Chain A
Amino acid sequence: MQCPQCQTENPDGFRFCGNCGFNLADLAQQGPADGEGARTLFFGAMQAPDRAKLILIKGEGMDGVSYHLNATEHTAGRSDGEIRFPDDPLLSPRHACFYYDDQHNLVVRDDGSVNGVFVRIRDPVPLVAGSRFLVGEQLIEFQETTKDDQQPEADDQGTYFYGSPRRPGHFKLVQLLRGGDIGMIFRAPTDRVTLGREGNDINFPDDPFISGQHAMVNVAGDGYELNDMGSKNGTFVRLEEPFVLGHGDYVFLGQQLLRVEISA
């Protein structure tokens, strides 16, 4: 359905234009079909009405459009698929896929996107080298430091590399900037590092979306884990493999935050 206001093509069933918010339901009512017409256009709905849906979160907890996931697979992206956000430059043309697996679980998969798919963590999650997560607006990459502690090696002429004194560091957290540049690298002097707006090991005082005490990375057994400290907006980890979504999960695609609703 094309929005009469901004000409954006919206998936059928949209009550509001995903681009400009124009009330498409009113438009539909004026049309030949009745107000329910939009919904019937989802063919899958006939087999499995409302199996699951994604609710687009529009700032301050307001819900926006909802996407009914009634087919088997639903692609999301900037220009491809059923769930499209043409104005979000952080989305790849084809970004992610929501599908049902053999057990009828709703699964989200990164479809080779540049920026990845992030899911809000409910419990502590393990981190490995290269893991990325979002706290507020900050994108952080976790890195191990074990390599640093290896013995120095001479080059083929027997010369050793001169480096700065090594401070103890259990791991490193790297702030990645828009565009991919590195902002800051923080070496963890102890086995746990807290992140937030103020009073933490790493503070982002200018980030309006970060909580006072937001998240913590710590050594856990032989590995490392990421914890949310009860933040308002949550801590999101980038998916490395397909992830089974549950009711109430939050998914970040580019700038789009989606809440998962699964009917019983």
Chain B
Amino acid sequence: MAASYTLGLRRVFGLFAPLRSHQISLAQVSRQHRCKYCHSAPVESQAWKLMSGVCVERYPVISQQLNSIEKDFKDVCDAIELETSVLSEHEVQVIKDRERLKMRQSGELDEDIADDESDVITALDVEDLATEMFNQFQAAPRETEADEKNDTKSLNRKLDDKLILLVKEKLGDDLVWMLPQGYRESGESMKEVAERVLKLCSEEDSIKVKILGNAPVGVYKYKYPKAVQKELGVQGAKVFFFKAKLLQGEFKMRSDSNIKDFRWLTREELDSHLLKGYSDCVKKFIFPVSW
């Protein structure tokens, strides 16, 4: 029984290739109906339920903070660029103004002759004016209120990182964090299922997303408990994941949906919410922002 359990698990993780040769030798011993890959007691059905999952990503809004080597390299690049550059129009004007001032102070330049130029705004004045205008401008902060409160429901947090939508759903008896998912109904393509899943868990027009591509980016298989397997006549479920890009809007949970809670989390934060195997599977198709 213990052996069958491990083999079953192997199947879940898709490592069936090494088992095939083993299967033939055993099949010769017994001609009973057996599972194709594992040699446990006869299984009634090999069917799997099909599901689609959606990985909604909010892409970074602001650039990442440079790390130490990036910063050093940028400083050197800037220095080299400055060294190889020529003086700009403004800098030339500043030098000219300074020379004119010097000449006037020493009396070389007659005030009356240069009258038409004397009340011209100097380049430095222009600079001061621009600096003042710049100082008046207040850029939005890189760290937002949601970051301070650690409000994981807000899309306004961790602006320099990707955010992924996780929902809490009832699976069996426990509540489990996962990507939004749902069963396929006959006649639907897997992508259509993914679209429907999102529609069912979010309030109408609350978010606008675009599902990228027709092909699933990953798959996760899990087996039902034995009792459920017998009852439904299926082994478990295969969840096919699709990636989606958040275009606009805030996610609002639909009150009549299966989900109990939701969160926008970064890739690093997924580990603390998801089951180990699930998290490993999901992280394969979520690219980190920096590595």
* Genuine A/B complex: no
Residues of A near any B CB (own CB < 8 A): none
